[in-house]
Amino acid sequence: MTTEPKIREISPDETLEVCARQIIVSYFHQMMSYKEGAKDGSDIEFVHQMRVTSRRLRAAMDNFADCFPEKSFKKHYKKIKLITQTMGAVRDLDVLIVRFEKELGALPEIEQADIRKLIEHLQQEREDARKPMLMLFVELEETDFEKKFLTFFQGY
């Protein structure tokens, strides 16, 4: 799994508008490629990569906003922001759980018990944080978001 931007083929002599479309579409495809893994949830890397790529996509959209009609652009931007935020809630808990699990082995037994209780508490919070994420995925599918986004940004 990689977050390397797949934008090497951009020609710097092309117009900004043409390149902006290529980059946004490329990041979008990359972001959505992690969705099924994130939904499954057994490998925490998928949520991480989907969140990182959504941030890269937003950074690109911030830079290229002027290339697109404002109203529709904002609607799509808000949805990507919501994806980042929803994934972020899960990712933050994944990071904490992994961090405390790693530290467990080095602790005396009595402290281990305290940290184990904390990990259980965080795992429950993680389950709760996954619910909005899964609901968002359903909404994206039901509203045909992927197709609408690509139609708008591919433009032709």
CB 38 within 8 A of CB 50: yes
d(CA 94, CA 33): 20
Candidates 1-9, 39-47, 127-135, 148-156 — which segment interacts with another protein by CB under 8 A?
1-9
Q: Which 14-53 positions form the footprint of another protein (CB under 8 A)?
A: 14-17, 19, 23
Site for another protein contains 106 (CB under 8 A): no
Provide the token pair at 66: 């002027």
CB-side exposure of 64: number of CA atoms within 13 Å?
Answer: 22
Site for another protein contains 65 (CB under 8 A): yes
d(CA 131, CA 108): 35
By CB under 8 A, name the binding residues for another protein. Answer: 5, 7-8, 10-17, 19, 23, 55-56, 58-60, 62-67, 92, 95-96, 99, 103, 107, 110-115, 117-118, 121-122
